[in-house]
C-alpha cells in the first residue's frame, strides 16, 4: 500500500531538499581536488557518507511519514464527514440522473426519508428532474414539503475539477458530474412577504352610472330613500372587507381596503353590482354602479391614479362593471347590462364646439377609420369632411381598401358629382404629405392598431377621436379631443349629432346624408339593435337633409356570391353547449368576406335558443371573428380574451398564426373558461 502511494507537491520537495543539496557538496569536493588531492579524497568520503546516511534516513522515514499522512487524512475525513452529517443546513449529493447518493441528518429529517434512500430526487421534489439538473451549473428552485417552503440551491461538481490535482485518478468523461443540493427554509420569509403584500392599501372609486336618469324617474319624496338604500348597500358590502368608505359627491364614493381582501371580492365577482341593481324605491330604471380599483404599487398616490384610470375605463366601456388596474394588467368584472342612453345632448354640443375650435386653428385635416373600412366609419369620415368644408378647411379621407359593400357608396363621391379628386388618399400618401399643421381625426375606433394608418398617430400632434365602441386597455393616447360614447348606436349617429351643433348653416348633400344614414342603418341592423331616442332623432335629421331610404337600400344590397356565402355559414352552423352558434363563412369568390361574416352572425341570432353567435372567415392571412348576441351574453368580454373588442352585443377579433379549425377550438375553450369562472351564466 505504501509503495503504491507517492509523495508529490510541496511535501515531496521539502523532504527531497537535503538529497538535492548533496550536489552542491559534490561540486565543492571537486574544487578541493585542485587545492589539495588529500583534502579532495577526504571530502569525497564525507560526501559519500553523507549521501548514504540521507538515503537511509529517507527510506526509513518515508513509510512513517506516509502512514502519518494517511492517518491524518483519514481522521480529517472522518471529522469532515461527521461535521457535514451534523450540519444544520440540509445537504445532499445526487448523481447526474438525479438519484440520491448521500444525505446528511438534516436533509433526512426535512424530507422524512431514510439516510439510505437512494432513489430519484424527483420522488421527493417532483419539480427537480433529470432535465432540470442538466440545465445550469448553479440554480435555485422553489420547493415545498407539506406546509413549508424551501429554496433548493443546486450546484454541479464535475469529476475533472475534483481530480485535476490527483495524478492517480482521472475521469474518462469530462462532462460527468455530481449535483450538490442545499435546502434553505424560507417559510417565514414568504409568510412575512405575503403579510407585507396583504397589508398594502388598495384604492377604489365608485360612481353611480345613471344617477341623473334614475333621479328623474323617481318621485322627489323617494329620492332621498333611494340614495340612502344605495349608500347602505355599498357601506354594508365593503364593510365586510374592513374598507374605509367616504362619500365624496352625491353619486361618487372613495374606498380604501387591504390587498388581502381583493381575492375575496374577485371570487364574489363583485356582487355589489347585482345588489345595487335590485334596489327598488319607486324607480323603474335599475341603478347601476361602476368601480375602479388600483393596486400593486407601494406609493398610495400611484394606486389612486390607477383607480382613476380604471373608473374612466369602466365608464368608457358602458358602466355597470369593475375595472381593476395593476402595474402590468387590467382585469374586468361585470359589464353585462345594456348601456343606458342619455337623453341630454349637452355633451354632444360641447364636443361639437370643441371640434369647431380645433378645426379653426388647423390648416388641413386627415380623417381615417379602421382597417377594412365599413359603412359606419366611411359615413362618419364623410361627416367630418362636411364639417371641415363648412369652415373652408381642406379635409382628406385616408382609405386604403374599398370593399364590395363600400364601393357603391364610395363611387358617389366622384369628380362628376362635384367632389375633389384628392378627397380620398391612401395611408402612404398621407404619410408623405403630412406636415406639422395637419390635424388628424379618427372615427369608429379607439384602438391604435386598428386604424387605417397607425403611423399617422405617431406623427400627428393634434388628434381627435370619435367612437362608439367600448374602450379597452389599448387606446389612442394624447388626443386633444376624445368623444367616446358606448351607448351610441354608431359613429354616424354621433357625427350626425355633432353636425347639428357644429354650425347652424351647415348643409349636407343627398349623397352625404345617404352615407351617414347608411352607417346608422348597418350598425343598428336596420334599427333592430342598440337603437334609442337619439338614434331616431339623428336619422330624422339626416332625412331632413335629403337622405333617402330607397337609395340607401339599393346601395347596401349584396351580390349573389356574398348572399350564398352567408347562407352557407348559417346552414353549417354548429351549436355549442346548446346556446352558442359557431360557424365558418366561406371566403372563396367573395371580395369582402368580413361583411358576409358579420351578416351571417346577425342571421344566426334569429334562431330560437341561440344566445350568441360566432362566425369566422379567413381573409388576408388572418382569421376574422364576428361575434353577436341579443341581450344575455357580453360578447365584448369574450372577444377581449382573444385580443379583440367591441360592444356588449356586437364585437369581433382577429387571430393570426392559427388555422380556422384551431380558432374555432379557441372560442370553445374560451367559452368553457368563462362559464367555469362565472363570467357567463
> Please, which residues have CB within 8 angstroms of residue 43's CB and are 6 or more apart in sequence?
25, 28, 29, 32
Strand, helix or coil for residue 653: strand
Spatial distance between the Cα atoms of 243 and 237, rounded to a whole number of angstroms: 9
> Please, which residues have CB within 8 angstroms of residue 173's CB and are 6 or more apart in sequence?
159
Query: Which grid cell is 365?
Result: 385635416
Whole-number Cα distances in Å, 251 to 212, 276, 290, 316, 340: 9, 13, 11, 17, 16
Query: Which grid cell is 499?
Result: 353636425
Query: Which grid cell is 330?
Result: 387590467
Query: Which backbone phi and psi does 624 adopt, to 5 degrees?
Result: -95, 135
* Cβ atoms of 124 and 112 closer than 8 Å: no
Whole-number Cα distances in Å, 466 to 36, 488, 507: 121, 11, 21
Whole-number Cα distances in Å, 295 to 207, 307, 311, 327, 334: 18, 8, 13, 8, 19
Spatial distance between the Cα atoms of 561 and 30, rounded to a whole number of angstroms: 119
Spatial distance between the Cα atoms of 89 and 70, rounded to a whole number of angstroms: 29
Spatial distance between the Cα atoms of 662 and 617, rounded to a whole number of angstroms: 12
Whole-number Cα distances in Å, 653 to 487, 574, 578, 625, 628: 21, 20, 23, 5, 12
> Please, which residues have CB within 8 angstroms of residue 342's CB and are 6 or more apart in sequence?
213, 487
Cell 342619455 appears where?
342
Sheet holding 244-249, edge to edge: 244-249, 252-258, 201-208, 289-294, 321-325, 330-334
- Consult the annotation and say whether 679 binds a ligand: no
Helix H or strand E encompassing 183: strand 177-185
Query: Which grid cell is 343?
Result: 337623453
Nearest to 584 by CA among 663, 640, 666: 663
Query: Which backbone phi and psi does 429 adopt, to 5 degrees?
Result: -65, -35
Spatial distance between the Cα atoms of 218 and 81, rounded to a whole number of angstroms: 85
Q: Indicate the length of the chain as a whole number.
A: 681
- Consult the annotation and say whether 523 binds a ligand: yes
Spatial distance between the Cα atoms of 373 and 402, rounded to a whole number of angstroms: 7
CA dihedral of residues 544, 549, 551, 555 (deg, nearest 10) = 120
* Cβ atoms of 524 and 409 closer than 8 Å: no
Query: Which grid cell is 415?
Result: 369628380
Spatial distance between the Cα atoms of 524 and 634, rounded to a whole number of angstroms: 17
| Rg of the Cα atoms in the chain | 41
Task: Give the N- to C-terminal CA distance of the chain in Å, as an integer.
Answer: 83
CA 23 to chain centre: 81
Spatial distance between the Cα atoms of 240 and 249, rounded to a whole number of angstroms: 23
Q: Where are the alpha helices (DSSP H) in 86-158?
A: 105-111, 130-135
* Cβ atoms of 373 and 401 closer than 8 Å: yes
Spatial distance between the Cα atoms of 330 and 144, rounded to a whole number of angstroms: 31
Residues contributing to the annotated binding site for Mn(2+):
370, 374, 376, 444, 468, 523
Residues contributing to the annotated binding site:
370, 374, 376, 444, 468, 523
Amino acid at each position: 500500500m505504501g509503495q503504491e502511494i507517492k509523495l508529490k507537491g510541496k511535501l515531496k520537495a521539502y523532504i527531497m531538499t537535503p538529497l538535492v543539496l548533496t550536489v552542491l557538496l559534490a561540486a565543492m569536493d571537486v574544487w578541493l581536488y585542485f587545492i589539495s588531492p588529500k583534502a579532495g579524497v577526504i571530502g569525497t568520503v564525507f560526501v559519500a557518507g553523507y549521501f548514504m546516511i540521507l538515503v537511509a534516513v529517507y527510506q526509513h522515514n518515508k513509510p512513517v511519514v506516509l502512514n502519518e499522512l494517511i492517518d491524518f487524512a483519514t481522521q480529517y475525513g472522518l471529522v469532515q464527514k461527521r461535521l457535514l452529517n451534523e450540519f444544520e443546513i440540509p445537504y445532499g449529493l445526487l448523481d447526474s440522473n438525479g438519484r440520491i447518493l448521500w444525505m446528511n441528518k438534516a436533509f433526512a429529517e426535512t424530507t422524512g426519508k431514510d439516510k439510505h434512500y437512494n432513489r430519484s430526487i424527483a420522488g421527493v421534489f417532483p419539480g427537480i428532474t433529470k432535465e432540470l439538473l442538466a440545465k445550469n451549473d448553479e440554480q435555485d428552485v422553489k420547493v415545498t414539503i407539506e406546509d413549508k417552503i424551501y429554496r433548493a440551491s443546486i450546484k454541479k461538481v464535475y469529476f475533472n475539477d475534483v481530480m485535476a490535482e490527483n495524478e492517480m485518478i482521472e475521469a474518462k468523461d469530462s462532462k460527468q458530474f455530481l449535483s450538490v443540493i442545499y435546502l434553505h427554509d424560507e417559510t417565514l420569509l414568504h409568510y412575512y412577504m405575503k403579510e407585507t403584500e396583504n397589508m398594502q392599501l388598495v384604492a377604489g372609486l365608485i360612481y353611480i352610472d345613471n344617477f341623473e336618469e334614475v333621479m328623474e324617474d323617481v318621485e322627489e319624496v323617494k329620492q332621498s330613500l333611494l340614495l340612502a338604500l344605495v349608500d347602505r348597500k355599498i357601506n354594508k358590502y365593503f364593510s365586510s372587507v374592513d374598507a374605509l368608505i367616504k362619500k365624496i359627491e352625491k353619486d361618487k364614493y372613495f374606498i380604501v381596503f387591504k390587498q388581502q381582501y381583493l381575492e375575496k371580492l374577485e371570487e364574489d365577482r363583485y356582487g355589489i353590482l347585482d345588489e345595487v341593481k335590485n334596489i327598488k324605491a319607486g324607480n323603474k330604471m335599475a341603478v347601476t354602479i361602476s368601480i375602479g380599483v388600483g393596486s400593486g404599487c407601494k406609493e398610495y398616490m400611484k394606486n389612486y391614479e390607477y383607480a382613476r384610470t380604471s373608473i374612466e375605463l369602466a365608464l368608457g366601456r358602458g358602466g355597470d362593471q369593475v375595472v381593476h388596474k395593476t402595474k402590468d394588467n387590467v382585469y374586468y368584472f361585470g359589464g353585462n347590462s345594456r348601456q343606458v342612453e342619455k337623453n341630454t345632448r349637452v355633451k354632444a354640443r360641447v364636443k361639437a364646439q370643441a371640434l369647431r375650435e380645433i378645426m379653426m386653428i388647423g390648416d388641413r385635416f386627415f380623417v381615417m377609420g379602421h382597417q377594412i373600412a365599413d359603412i359606419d366609419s366611411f359615413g362618419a369620415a364623410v361627416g367630418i369632411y362636411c364639417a371641415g368644408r363648412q369652415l373652408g378647411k381642406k379635409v382628406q379621407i385616408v382609405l386604403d381598401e374599398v370593399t364590395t359593400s363600400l364601393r357603391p357608396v364610395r363611387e358617389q363621391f366622384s369628380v362628376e358629382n362635384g367632389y375633389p379628386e384628392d378627397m380620398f388618399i391612401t395611408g402612404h400618401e398621407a404619410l408623405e404629405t403630412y406636415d406639422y399643421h395637419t390635424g388628424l381625426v379618427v372615427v369608429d375606433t379607439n384602438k391604435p392598431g386598428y386604424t387605417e394608418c397607425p403611423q399617422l398617430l405617431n406623427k400627428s400632434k393634434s388628434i381627435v377621436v370619435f367612437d362608439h365602441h367600448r374602450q379597452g386597455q389599448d387606446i389612442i393616447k394624447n388626443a386633444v379631443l376624445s368623444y367616446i360614447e358606448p351607448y351610441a348606436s354608431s359613429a354616424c349617429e354621433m357625427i350626425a349629432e355633432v353636425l347639428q351643433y357644429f354650425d347652424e348653416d351647415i348643409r349636407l348633400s343627398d349623397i352625404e346624408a345617404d352615407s351617414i344614414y347608411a352607417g346608422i342603418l348597418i350598425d343598428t341592423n336596420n334599427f333592430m339593435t342598440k337603437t334609442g331616442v337619439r338614434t331616431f332623432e339623428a336619422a330624422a335629421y339626416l332625412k331632413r337633409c335629403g337622405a333617402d331610404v330607397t337609395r340607401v337600400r339599393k346601395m347596401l344590397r349584396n351580390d349573389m356570391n356574398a348572399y350564398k356565402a352567408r347562407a352557407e355559414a348559417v346552414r353549417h352552423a354548429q351549436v355549442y353547449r346548446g346556446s352558442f352558434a359557431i360557424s365558418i363563412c366561406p371566403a372563396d369568390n367573395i371580395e369582402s368576406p368580413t361583411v358576409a361574416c358579420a351578416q351571417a352572425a346577425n342571421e344566426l341570432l334569429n334562431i330560437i335558443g341561440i344566445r350568441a353567435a360566432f362566425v369566422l372567415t379567413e381573409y388576408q392571412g388572418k382569421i376574422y371573428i364576428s361575434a353577436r348576441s341579443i341581450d344575455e351574453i357580453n360578447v365584448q368580454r369574450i372577444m377581449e380574451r382573444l385580443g379583440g373588442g367591441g360592444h356588449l352585443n356586437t364585437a369581433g377579433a382577429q387571430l393570426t398564426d392559427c388555422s380556422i379549425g384551431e380558432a374555432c377550438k379557441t372560442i370553445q375553450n374560451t367559452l368553457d373558461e368563462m362559464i367555469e369562472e362565472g363570467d357567463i351564466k
